[in-house]
């Protein structure tokens, strides 16, 4: 069992989640939750441990409450949660609202919103000083889509991220007296698999609208997340931090 508080990342096997795991492992033992790609998750764990860090990977479907509860029971055996990053999410594919499939829509909200709420609930039950915990930090992965709306592409996805923004603001106030800070990071166009769902022309047009003139990197997002989770941000809660190149 780890003596240091654990840094738990949902959807930590690739992209932004993996970058957060690698960066967080410089100061914390890391737990990665992943859904399917055990090989990728283990690869992140191996990389961390090769660099003298400590990490574990636990399989958990964010859309399955029972799987999440089992994952948190496994986390309890590893140590105390100090940080939860709600990073896991799906887009549900590109679609105009008029063409949305209701089952797919339900799945996107189940993973991106309900799953994040359940993971947060379990973390709060363990962190809250009112419940005997030692406090902690929650960082929600929102998106610039919550501000821009993602018309013609991802309005459904953007709506789930709008929910994460509201959750962040409300929960930060709810937990301020219980030793828990709650913040969110809102990435813009980041060079990961998520944005590769767009066509090359669409992505190029979108990237050209960014004031800084380029896509961001997963490492740049990870730096923001780890800072918000650190003592350096001890007076920061309820923050929706934009990491989107000025867009």
Give residue 146's region: left, alpha or beta (phi > 0; psi -120 to 50): alpha
3-state secondary structure of 56: strand
Comparing C-alpha atoms, which of 153, 139, 147 is closest to residue 239? 139
Instruction: Please name the residue that has the structure tokens 């929650």.
Output: 138
**DSSP per-residue string spanning 179-191:** TEEEEEEEE-SBS
Is 157 assigned a catalytic role? yes
Q: Which of 157, 186, 192, 216 is catalytic?
A: 157
d(CA 215, CA 100): 28
Pairing verdict, β 180-187 and 240-243: parallel
* CA distances (Å), origin 92, targets 193, 210, 213: 13, 24, 28
Closest CA to 2 of 84, 77, 59, 83: 77
Active site members: 157
């Amino acid at each position: 069992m780890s003596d240091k508080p654990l840094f738990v990342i949902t959807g930590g096997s690739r992209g932004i989640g993996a970058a957060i795991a690698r960066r967080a492992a410089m100061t914390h033992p890391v737990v990665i939750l992943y859904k399917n790609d055990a090989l990728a998750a283990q690869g992140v764990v191996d990389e961390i441990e090769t660099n003298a860090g400590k990490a574990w990977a636990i399989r958990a479907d964010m859309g399955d409450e029972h799987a999440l509860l089992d994952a948190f029971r496994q986390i309890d055996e590893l140590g105390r949660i100090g940080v939860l990053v709600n990073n896991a999410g799906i887009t549900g594919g590109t679609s105009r609202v008029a063409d949305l499939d209701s089952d797919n829509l339900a799945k996107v909200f189940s993973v991106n919103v309900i799953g994040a709420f359940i993971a947060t609930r379990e973390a709060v039950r363990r962190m809250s000083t009112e419940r005997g915990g030692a406090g902690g930090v929650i960082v929600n992965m929102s998106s610039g889509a919550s501000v821009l709306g993602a018309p013609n592409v991802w309005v459904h996805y953007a709506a789930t991220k709008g929910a994460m923004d509201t959750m962040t603001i409300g929960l930060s106030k709810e937990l301020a007296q219980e030793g828990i800070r709650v913040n969110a990071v809102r990435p813009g166009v980041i060079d990961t698999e998520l944005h590769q769902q767009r066509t090359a022309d669409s992505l190029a047009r979108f990237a050209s609208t960014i004031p800084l003139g380029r896509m961001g990197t997963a490492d740049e997002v990870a730096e923001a997340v780890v800072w918000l989770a650190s003592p350096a941000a001890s007076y920061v809660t309820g923050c929706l931090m934009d990491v989107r190149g000025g867009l």
